[in-house]
Structure 1
Amino acid sequence: MTLTEWFVFFLIIQIVHFAGTWRLYEAAGRKRWEAAVPIYNAIVLMQIINRPKWWTILLFIPIINLIMFPVVWVETLRSFGKNSTTDTWLAVFTAGLYIYYVNYTQPLNYVTDRNLNPHTKTGDTISSILFAIVVATLVHTYVMQPFTIPTSSLEKSLLVGDFLFVSKFHYGARVPMTAIAAPMFHDTIPFINKKSYSSWPEIPYMRFPKLQSIKNNDIVVFNWPVDTLYNMYKAADKKYYKPVDKRTNYVKRAIGVAGDTVEIKDGIVYVNGDILKMPLRARPEFSYEVTTDGSSFDQAYVIQELNSTDGVYQTSQTTFQFRALTDDAVRKLQNNPTVKSVVRNISKETEPTIFGKKENWNLDNMGPIYIPKEGKTVALDKASLPFYKRIITDYEHNDLKVIGDEIRINGKIATSYTFQQDYFWMMGDNRHNSLDSRYWGYVPANHIVGKAVFIWMSIDPHKSGFKKFRTERFFTTVGGEGEPVSYFKFFLIAIAAYFGISYFVKKRKENQA
């Protein structure tokens, strides 16, 4: 839905609200017209039901409002003496339309001094759960979201089994685009494997003000632009449309930002003509061919000494292929007396699935590629069109037709194109084992979820017992220079202090009583 369509929808809702509640407003000592003024009518309603005015804000926050609407419906009925279980269920299952029946057919006795405390233990429990869901959804949607690293594409910066906190506010929290969705679930409800949202209606793309822009080398969580999976657990057998904010979450490093030119030569990334300087914590990995004197490699040596978890396989009696090795691991292999040579694999042949599909382009050699910037205009012809076709059609929703050498956008001949938003080039540090922008191209700004900022827990899938827990990675920052520093002990001290102080405060109150 466009902003205009949403505005019309909002006005219709206001009319529906006025028609169903004006007598309730009058019975509560308010004026009839107060039920008709948008936003103001919600503030007045909060006063009628004896709830804080700031609840009005919650009614306009996507997803949160799905929880708040039924609460307000029930609270409205109870403010006029409708306290039965039947009244409550009728309010919920009629989507508030039961209030129409009460408004026009029932005696309206406004309860001015209504007791706001739940009358039963069940009611108290439900109120507590609803409050917890609202707070958790607010934090999850607009402040910080937990995220798990499922693959090794960013080793060794992020490891498989790392549990992250992803900041929504660094780049500006994105307003949910799906107006109807289950709180705190992504695209799928676990266990039942059902879609967690409705594709209609969609909210136009909006963001809150940002604290910072995406910088080169930032580790960013984003929605996978080419996602057509029905859910995250089962591959679909046909293309399936998903709203932007419900596409699968990916995490990669922002190699190029809007306005940059990126080029890859023999696996080395160049940005604006210079070799990309990566932070010290980043340890890019490549695949290597290793030749020995006939000796093989023990699995413990590969995992513990070389710190490689992507594996090694033998191609001949003396030749081995390592899928992912850092520079440190390469040096250790070169110093191993059984190793004759260590050669980094570099792709030379054309890869048909690579972005741009140009001759001799592959995951190790491609570019230069311009990263589109909002407001920038580029020349458009049959040579440049493959780079921008998906932007023009899928991301910026234009009608594109190519007839011979003629390019038409929205029915008009086009020799240039001006971008409507920023784009980014995302890559994994595990350069030969990462599905990234080299294959599907640019990541639009409206697909950005947030910035990876904190590892709160890390579990090693290759170990068992207490050894599974990488405590040295607990409560470490993702960014920064030098080796990560764990703040886990400070967290434990803070928890102990909290419970200790709470215990003594409770004891003191008991003694005073």
Structure 2
Amino acid sequence: MANFYSVLLTVITLAAGIIWWYDARYKKPARKQRVADEEQRLQQELDAQARERIAPQGKIAEFAQSVFPILLIILLVRTFLYEPFRIPSASMMPTMLAGDFILVEKFSYSLRDPVWRTELLEMNKPERGDIAVFKYPLAPEVDYIKRIIGLPGDRIIYRNKTLYLEPPCVNESTTCPQARVIRENVKEQDIVYFSGSQPLERYREQIGDIHHEILVDPSVAPRTRFYFQQDGTAIDEWIVPQGEYFFMGDNRDNSEDSRYWGFVPEDNLVGRAVFIWMSFEMDRDRDSLLPDWIPTGVRWARLGQVQ
């Protein structure tokens, strides 16, 4: 089932629509007849205020009539077009920071109903390098955001903090692709990111047609003992099943992703992150009297298209 807010919005919109319909179908004709009878008795046409005084619309019906079109537009946009999300953690640094507010394009992969998430119309297939929101396979009520690394049939290797990708062999009569190193070069440290007091190393990768940056913590040893173990493969190797995808965070040593819990079914995909529409700084001294959720500033330079 879709998340709580989608279900709640759907229920409220339906309730408002039903109240409005019931009032228009059964109550409004009676009000019109009451006004007509009064006009016939007075032998004159009444103005709007007089009609409202003689046959007033119920407050609940009036409220439902005013909010239903707005709720319906919000529901349609949120379900089929764009939905806002907030980045809660550092797992996608440096591409996305905690405090970023993004728009997720819901029609990137498919159109689904807002309650049971049944696919109504298939759109495009996910591509390597997409940053996508998906339902966490171990707890579908939770939304995660990571980068798509592996498509169905891909062989993924993450060994000694180096990513290798081997696409599937499409045509056996031709030379099959070989596993290749994805990481390219060290990025100049114009901005230094930290994990605690430890500065993180910055690299550049290309996944599909997407160039992006990643962070690696040199003080953290590979956590291979915690990796999700797929039958028939090495401990740091995975072959993506059909209908599923392999996700990783750009902050490689601070991301709980497919390396640890496995693959994401296609039905769990919510949409593709396309735009950062707001970014708040949340840095505050420990002795501050203000709550942690109050922003300390706006990162205007971060607003724009997601890469």
Change (3 A) 1:324 1:70: farther
User: Partners in 2 of 1:344 and 1:431 — Cα distance?
Assistant: 11
> How many residue pairs are counted as aligned between the two chains?
246
Q: Does 1:371 align with 2:284?
A: no
> 2:276, 2:306 within 8 Å by CA — same for their partners in 1?
yes
1:224-263 alignment, distance < 5 Å: 224-227=136-139, 244=140, 247-263=141-157
SS in 2 for 1:457: strand
Identity of aligned residues (%): 27
Per the TM alignment, residue 277 of structure 1 is displaced from its structure 2 partner at its CA by 6.0
Q: Does 1:269 align with 2:145?
A: no
> 1:350, 1:360 within 8 Å by CA — same for their partners in 2?
no
Per the TM alignment, residue 437 of structure 1 is displaced from its structure 2 partner at its CA by 0.6
Match of 1:426 among 238, 247, 251: 247
Match of 1:205 among 118, 137, 152: 118
> 1:459, 1:468 within 8 Å by CA — same for their partners in 2?
yes
Q: Does 1:164 align with 2:102?
A: yes
> 1:216, 1:254 within 8 Å by CA — same for their partners in 2?
yes
AA of the residue aligned to 1:77:
Y
Per the TM alignment, residue 451 of structure 1 is displaced from its structure 2 partner at its CA by 0.5
**What is the TM-score when the length of structure 1 is the normalising length?**
0.42
Name 1:344's counterpart in structure 2.
Answer: 218
Q: Does 1:152 align with 2:90?
A: yes
SS in 1 for 2:121: coil
User: Partners in 2 of 1:359 and 1:65 — Cα distance?
Assistant: 50
Per the TM alignment, residue 450 of structure 1 is displaced from its structure 2 partner at its CA by 0.5
Name 1:35's counterpart in structure 2.
Answer: none
> 1:67, 1:134 within 8 Å by CA — same for their partners in 2?
no
SS in 1 for 2:74: helix
Per the TM alignment, residue 432 of structure 1 is displaced from its structure 2 partner at its CA by 0.7
User: Partners in 2 of 1:253 and 1:147 — Cα distance?
Assistant: 15
Per the TM alignment, residue 366 of structure 1 is displaced from its structure 2 partner at its CA by 0.4
> 2:131, 2:148 within 8 Å by CA — same for their partners in 1?
yes
User: Partners in 2 of 1:343 and 1:248 — Cα distance?
Assistant: 27
Match of 1:436 among 257, 282, 304: 257
Change (3 A) 1:448 1:128: same
> 1:149, 1:160 within 8 Å by CA — same for their partners in 2?
yes
Bigger RCO of structures 1 and 2 (CA < 8 A, at least 6 apart): 2
Per the TM alignment, residue 358 of structure 1 is displaced from its structure 2 partner at its CA by 8.0
Change (3 A) 1:124 1:70: closer
**Deviation sequence 1:61-115 (CA, Å, 0-9, x none):** x6554542333223221254279xxxxxxxxxxxxxxxxxxxxxxxxxxxxxxx9
AA of the residue aligned to 1:206:
E
Instruction: Give the structure with higher Rg (CA).
Output: 1
SS in 2 for 1:173: strand
SS in 2 for 1:163: strand
Name 1:218's counterpart in structure 2.
Answer: 130
User: Partners in 2 of 1:448 and 1:478 — Cα distance?
Assistant: 18
User: Partners in 2 of 1:204 and 1:160 — Cα distance?
Assistant: 27
**Deviation sequence 1:261-306 (CA, Å, 0-9, x none):** 111111111111122368x9x97xxxxxxxxxxxxxxxxxxxx975
User: Partners in 2 of 1:349 and 1:471 — Cα distance?
Assistant: 36
SS in 1 for 2:132: strand
Give structure 2 stretches of 5+ with no counterpart: 2-9, 33-47, 167-178, 205-215, 286-293
> 1:306, 1:325 within 8 Å by CA — same for their partners in 2?
no
Change (3 A) 1:450 1:434: same
Change (3 A) 1:343 1:163: closer
1:240-319 alignment, distance < 5 Å: 244=140, 247-272=141-166, 273-276=179-182, 307-312=192-197
Match of 2:302 among 445, 449, 473: 473
CA RMSD of aligned residues (A): 3.8
SS in 1 for 2:67: helix
> 2:240, 2:263 within 8 Å by CA — same for their partners in 1?
yes
Change (3 A) 1:325 1:121: farther
> 1:175, 1:208 within 8 Å by CA — same for their partners in 2?
no
SS in 2 for 1:344: coil
Name 2:37's counterpart in structure 1.
Answer: none
Per the TM alignment, residue 174 of structure 1 is displaced from its structure 2 partner at its CA by 1.8
Higher strand share: 2
> 2:220, 2:253 within 8 Å by CA — same for their partners in 1?
no
Higher helix share: 1
AA of the residue aligned to 1:354:
Y
SS in 1 for 2:259: helix
SS in 2 for 1:208: strand
Change (3 A) 1:253 1:204: closer
> 1:348, 1:360 within 8 Å by CA — same for their partners in 2?
no
> 1:324, 1:432 within 8 Å by CA — same for their partners in 2?
no
> 1:310, 1:323 within 8 Å by CA — same for their partners in 2?
yes
